[in-house]
């Protein structure tokens, strides 16, 4: 699948479950991230720094916009921070999902407790289908302690089938897809 078509399929999958998708060049990711949190009136963010997020200056951009950023002590800080940012390992186009395959627990904490979550994934790391992702997972050695597929805001229903968003995860869910250079 062509990269433009891959992103469009990813976007369609994510918006079908009430998520939001953005595409940005690497140089524009920090500004896009800042705008998402400003638009959602989010002033405290837990951010798991990766080489990509360091390179683009995500922390500095958020701080320059007046957003408090925590980059450590996630068990303590993330539950009080309304926003969260992590970089995903993969994306699945037809589902609009991101995939985390990590040994570190920090990403899981930030993804789960954030009210407003933003995942970052490189376009080159998005595969067409769930089956393609399973093939990648099957070849991954050693397999990480955690693998999770995240699709849209958290949803659940009680015994009376009353749906609720955000009980077991984010209420608002966005993904920034980073265009390859």
Q: How many residues does the chain have?
A: 181
Number of domains the chain contains: 1
Structural domain boundaries enclosing 172: 3-178
Q: Is the pTM of this model over 0.75?
A: yes
% residues pLDDT > 70 (the chain): 88
Question: Tens digit of pLDDT for each residue in 75-87?
Answer: 898 888 999 999 9
Give the CATH number for residue 165.
3.40.50.10420
Q: Hey, which bits of the chain come out as E strands?
A: 20-24, 44-47, 68-70, 83-87, 90-92, 97-102, 116-122, 126-127, 146-150, 155-157, 163-165, 172-178
The Cα–Cα gap between 4 and 56 comes to 23
Question: Tens digit of pLDDT for each residue in 12-71?
Answer: 999 988 889 999 999 999 999 999 999 999 999 999 999 999 999 999 999 999 999 999
Angle at 15 between CA 85 and CA 44, to 5 degrees: 25
């Amino acid at each position: 699948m062509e990269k433009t078509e891959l992103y469009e399929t990813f976007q369609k999958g994510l918006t079908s479950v009430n998520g939001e998708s953005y595409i940005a060049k690497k140089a524009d990711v920090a500004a896009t991230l800042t705008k998402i949190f400003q638009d959602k009136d989010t002033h405290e963010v837990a951010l798991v720094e990766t080489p990509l997020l360091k390179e683009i200056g995500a922390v500095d951009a958020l701080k320059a916009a007046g957003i408090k950023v925590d980059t450590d002590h996630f068990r303590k800080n993330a539950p009080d921070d309304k926003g969260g940012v992590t970089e995903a390992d993969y994306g699945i186009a037809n589902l609009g999902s991101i995939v985390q395959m990590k040994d570190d627990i920090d990403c899981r904490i930030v993804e789960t407790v954030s009210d407003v979550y933003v995942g970052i994934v490189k376009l080159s790391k998005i595969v067409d289908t769930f089956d393609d992702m399973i093939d990648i997972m099957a070849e991954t050695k050693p397999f990480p302690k955690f693998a999770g597929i995240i699709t849209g805001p958290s949803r659940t229903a009680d015994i009376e089938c009353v749906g609720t968003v955000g009980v077991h995860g984010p209420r608002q869910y966005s993904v920034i897809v980073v265009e390859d250079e």
